[in-house]
């Protein structure tokens, strides 16, 4: 199996030309990248939370170029493995739609071999506004939760504490928050391993299942 990491330097653009070409780091997030670039004040300081929350009415585009070596394309299958996309993500490589994500709590894998080319490639991941989403989802199918959080928060598969809690601010961040890579392999691969414990007569036997 061959792995090509896509972590590192990306570029962030915020919709409506609010911010363009902001240097971004993956893994990371919108708030962290804008704070590091000096575009916003510390969201956790005093009342800055209120302005930071307004920012989440926008959409966010992460993009970068990357080089694909010929040996990766010789693999039978090549997957884009995104271990954390927060949350409403549309993924394109070389302008082609390769997948969509709607859950920050899981790993996403998309078959991308057919859209890759040897040499330079470009990936773009567009994150839609989480606050607009919960407003629209609540209007269509109301579902309530704690009154400490924003209305509609149970309707999105995203860390609910980001929408406010009795102890926390309303800062529903977005971005590529875990590793992202290309994975190439032939025939088969081990996706997961489960270890089973058998306890008998004071001894423990381990069985591994793949």
- H-run or E-run covering 13: strand 8-14
Distances 170 to 44, 144, 163 between C-alpha atoms, Å: 10, 16, 5
**Tokens describing residue 16:** 């409506």
Distance from C-alpha of 187 to C-alpha of 206, rounded to nearest angstrom: 28
pLDDT of residue 209: 75
Q: Any alpha helices (H) in the chain, and if so which ranges?
A: 30-36, 48-55, 70-73, 130-140
Distance from C-alpha of 49 to C-alpha of 25, rounded to nearest angstrom: 22
Per-residue pLDDT of the chain (210 residues; tens, 9 = 90+): 899 999 999 999 999 999 999 999 999 999 999 999 999 999 999 999 999 999 999 999 999 999 999 999 999 999 999 999 999 999 999 999 999 999 999 999 999 999 999 999 999 999 999 999 999 999 999 999 888 899 999 999 999 999 999 888 999 999 999 999 999 998 766 767 888 888 988 888 888 776
Distance from C-alpha of 115 to C-alpha of 66, rounded to nearest angstrom: 13
98 HSE (CA, 13 A, CB side): 25
pLDDT of residue 189: 66
pLDDT of residue 188: 67
**Tokens describing residue 162:** 């980001």
């Amino acid at each position: 199996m061959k792995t090509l990491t896509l972590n590192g330097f990306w570029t962030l653009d915020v919709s409506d030309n609010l911010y363009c070409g902001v240097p971004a780091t993956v893994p990371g997030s919108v708030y962290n990248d804008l704070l590091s670039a000096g575009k916003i004040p510390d969201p956790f300081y005093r009342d800055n939370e209120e302005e930071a929350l307004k920012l989440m009415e926008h959409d966010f585009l992460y993009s970068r170029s990357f080089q694909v070596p010929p040996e990766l394309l010789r693999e039978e299958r090549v997957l884009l493995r995104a271990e954390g996309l927060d949350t409403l993500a549309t993924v394109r490589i070389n302008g082609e739609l390769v997948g969509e994500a709607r859950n920050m709590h899981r790993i996403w894998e998309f078959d991308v071999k057919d859209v890759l080319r040897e040499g330079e490639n470009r990936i773009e991941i567009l994150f839609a506004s989480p606050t607009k989403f919960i407003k629209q989802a609540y209007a269509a199918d109301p579902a309530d939760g704690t009154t400490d959080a924003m209305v509609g928060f149970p309707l999105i598969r995203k860390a609910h504490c980001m929408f406010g809690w009795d102890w926390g601010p309303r800062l529903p961040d977005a971005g590529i928050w875990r590793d992202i890579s290309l994975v190439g392999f032939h025939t088969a691969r081990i996706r997961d391993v489960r270890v089973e414990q058998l306890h008998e007569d004071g001894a423990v036997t381990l069985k591994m299942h793949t």
